[in-house]
């Protein structure tokens, strides 16, 4: 399991004073990806226009380039702004298979302090039922802290 206290401290130190969302996303994706063997794909999909996500910084194999809010687990997260904890991706209606090896997924909304949806943070695992509510809570706390000072022009 992930040492979230240590991960949070590392990310806070690396991101201190930074407000560029791409730089922050790249750092978070890298650190989270390396923190736990369950994480096979770790990255961001950025909100680039109304109801549309595009791939952002990530670690792992290729990802889908564009995801509308109306499709897949990432789209559901962006549309509802609610955490999506999916123990079996094949049971999720409308799942988009960017990698055929993915068995479970955790997707979290990424918002700034103003409540603007910057995108979603997507974690995929080749293991079934790999993610827990504890993962979702810890990662939500990290994301809220890191992206609190990001503003969109």
Model pLDDT, residue 16:
96
Model pLDDT, residue 92:
81
Mean pLDDT of 18-24: 95
Give the residue extent of every domain in the chain.
4-147
CATH topology of domain 4-147: Beta-Lactamase (3.30.450)
Per-residue confidence band for 153, with pLDDT thresholds at 50, 70 and 90: low
Per-residue confidence band for 144, with pLDDT thresholds at 50, 70 and 90: very high
- Tell how strand 41-49 and strand 117-125 pair up: antiparallel
- SS3 per-residue string spanning the chain: CCCHHHHHHHHHHHHCCCCCHHHHHHHHHHHHHHCCCCCCEEEEEEEEECCEEEEEEEECCCCCCEEECCCHHHHHHHHHCCCEEECCHHHCCCCCCCCCCCCEEEEEEEECCCCCEEEEEEEEECCCCCCCHHHHHHHHHHHHHHHCCCCCC
Model pLDDT, residue 96:
75
Q: CA 67, CA 107: separation in Å to the nearest integer?
A: 13
Confidence check: pLDDT of 98 > 80: no
Mean pLDDT of 59-87: 95
pTM above 0.85, yes or no: yes
């Amino acid at each position: 399991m992930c040492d979230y206290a240590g991960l949070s401290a590392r990310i806070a130190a690396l991101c201190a004073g930074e407000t560029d969302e791409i730089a922050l996303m790249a750092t978070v994706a890298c650190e989270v990806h390396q923190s736990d063997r369950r994480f096979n794909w770790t990255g961001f999909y950025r909100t680039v226009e109304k109801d549309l996500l595009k791939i952002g910084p990530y670690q792992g194999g290729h990802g889908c380039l564009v995801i509308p809010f109306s499709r897949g687990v990432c789209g559901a997260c962006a549309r509802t702004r609610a955490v999506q904890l999916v123990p079996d991706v094949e049971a999720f209606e409308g799942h988009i298979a960017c990698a055929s090896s993915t068995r479970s997924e955790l997707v979290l909304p990424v918002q700034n302090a103003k409540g603007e949806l910057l995108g979603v943070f997507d974690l995929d695992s080749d293991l079934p039922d790999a993610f827990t509510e504890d993962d979702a809570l810890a990662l939500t706390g990290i994301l809220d802290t890191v992206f609190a000072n990001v503003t969109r022009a």
